[in-house]
Amino acid sequence: MATASEIAAVGVIGAGQMGSGITQLAAAAGCAVLLLDADPTALSRAVASISASLRRLAAKGQLSQAACEDSIKRIRCVSTVQDLRDADLVIEAIVENEDVKKKLFVELDKITKPSAILASNTSSISITRLGSATKRPSQVIGMHFFNPPPIMKLIEIIRGADTSDEVFAAVKSFSERLGKTVICSQDYPGFIVNRILLPMINEAFWALYTGVATKEDIDTGMKLGTNHPMGPLQLADFIGLDVCLSVLRVLHNGLGDNKYSPCPLLVQYSEVRNTWLLTPEIIAVYS
Ligand code: 3HC
């Protein structure tokens, strides 16, 4: 199994916001990155946004022009799991659905080299259960990045019941190589950050739902009253209401406490209206 300094080739699955940010970080740290997505439009959008982001860093003098262009060249877009056969580390950042992730892990287990580490950027799904879908549970680990990954300074590492000490040590030093601070969580629903963050966001929805205050006052209250960079409702939009709902359901089912039960307003916005934006018009309809 590769140690952190031997991780030379990284596979990233999912060219959304998280996958793009992770790709940028790994390429800037000197890795060859294979970015996998079945949707060619998502891949070209990701490469355009990564290139723009790296060039912005170069323009600000935080990266040399040569390092910026070399990082962009290290990224290769691929469209099948088979293309990841030579990766030392694969990080998946696909949809937050346990069955879909398990199927992907079964595939990855079959095609990646025996020494490869398989990591999930899941927000809340059990790493032990994802690992048990493979024949290498000791090499399966949670590597939870925060949005936007190039800016947020944290990686939360989650050890499954079977994750080995060697794999934990390799992923911890690799995360530090990406310039991040690492915290380690045991494999409980929501891990550390989302276990605490999502109940706060849910409570903000309850405050709006029960007419405590306007969306603007709830967000301003938390921004200026507790120095958060974004209010909880704006942050929920930023994370994605579908992701917020899915994490709350994992907390509710896994911890069996009604305090995690998602506010009906969040369910309405996310599922019934199928909208991700708390526009004044939508709030007027539901509050
Ligand atoms: N990618 C790269 N760089 C970005 C970026 C992105 N997506 N968004 C902003 N930036 C950069 C800007 O270029 C700017 O850089 P500069 O200061 O060197 O010019 C810097 O970040 C600040 O950006 P802005 O001035 O445009 O905006 P803000 O000062 O409002 O910062 C923010 C934007 C960093 C997103 C800030 O609002 C913030 O920290 N918000 C909270 C984010 C947060 O809590 N994320 C975690 C969510 S939970 C999660 O992800 C876990 C999941 O499992 C649910």
Q: What is the pLDDT of residues 22-38, one digit of tens each?
A: 999 999 999 999 999 99
Residue 60 counted as an annotated binding residue? yes
Q: What is the CA radius of gyration of the chain?
A: 19
User: Do 209 and 172 sit in the same domain of this protein?
Assistant: no
Task: Please give the backbone phi and psi of residue 197, each rounded to the nearest 5 degrees, phi first.
Answer: -70, -45
User: Do 166 and 205 sit in the same domain of this protein?
Assistant: no
Active-site pick, 71, 123, 164, 202? 123
**pLDDT band of 287, cuts 50, 70, 90:** very low
Locus of tokens 């934006």: 277
| Single residue among 186, 221, 255 that ends a domain in this structure | 186
Q: Is 54 in the pocket of ligand 1 (CB under 6 A)?
A: no
User: Do 262 and 148 sit in the same domain of this protein?
Assistant: no
pLDDT at 203: 98
Rounded percentage of the chain residues whose pLDDT exceeds 70 = 94
Residue 5 counted as an annotated binding residue? no
123 is catalytic: yes
Provide the edge-to-edge strand list for the sheet that holds 9-13: 75-78, 32-36, 9-13, 89-92, 117-120, 140-145, 154-159, 181-185
User: Do 179 and 266 sit in the same domain of this protein?
Assistant: no
| Single residue among 126, 160, 186 that ends a domain in this structure | 186
| Single residue among 131, 157, 186 that ends a domain in this structure | 186
**pLDDT band of 1, cuts 50, 70, 90:** confident
pLDDT in tens, 48-71: 999 999 999 999 999 999 999 999
Q: Among the atoms of ligand 1, which is closest to the Cα of residue 244?
A: 54
User: Do 91 and 119 sit in the same domain of this protein?
Assistant: yes
User: Do 171 and 200 sit in the same domain of this protein?
Assistant: no
Residue 185 host element (H or E)? strand 181-185
Q: Is 243 in the pocket of ligand 1 (CB under 6 A)?
A: yes
Note whether residue 56 is domain-resident: yes
Specify the DSSP class assigned to residue 3: -
**What mean pLDDT is reported for the chain?**
94
User: Do 34 and 158 sit in the same domain of this protein?
Assistant: yes
pLDDT at 6: 80
Q: Among the atoms of ligand 1, which is closest to the Cα of residue 124?
A: 53
Cα 50 to chain center, whole Å?
A: 16
User: Do 176 and 202 sit in the same domain of this protein?
Assistant: no
pLDDT in tens, 237-277: 999 999 999 999 999 999 999 999 999 999 998 887 655 55
Q: Is 146 in the pocket of ligand 1 (CB under 6 A)?
A: yes
Mutate to test the pocket of ligand 1, among 54, 57, 151, 228 (most ligand atoms within 8 A of CB): 151
Note whether residue 277 is domain-resident: no
194 is catalytic: yes
Nearest to 43 by CA among 13, 6, 70, 69: 13
Render 83-149 in DSSP notation, one character per residue.
GGTT-SEEEE---S-HHHHHHHHHHHHHHS-TT-EEEE--SSS-HHHHHHTSS-GGGEEEEEE-SST
Q: Residue 65: what residue type?
A: Q
User: Do 144 and 256 sit in the same domain of this protein?
Assistant: no
Peptide bond before residue 114 is cis, with ω within 30 degrees of 0: no
User: Do 103 and 14 sit in the same domain of this protein?
Assistant: yes
Overall domain count for the chain: 2
Global pTM value: 0.93
Q: Is 66 in the pocket of ligand 1 (CB under 6 A)?
A: no
Q: Is 152 in the pocket of ligand 1 (CB under 6 A)?
A: yes
Look up the ipTM and state it: 0.92
Question: Distance (Å, rounded) from C-alpha 84 to C-alpha 112?
Answer: 6
- CB-side exposure of 158: number of CA atoms within 13 Å? 29
Question: Distance (Å, rounded) from C-alpha 24 to C-alpha 46?
Answer: 10
Range of the domain at 44: 9-186
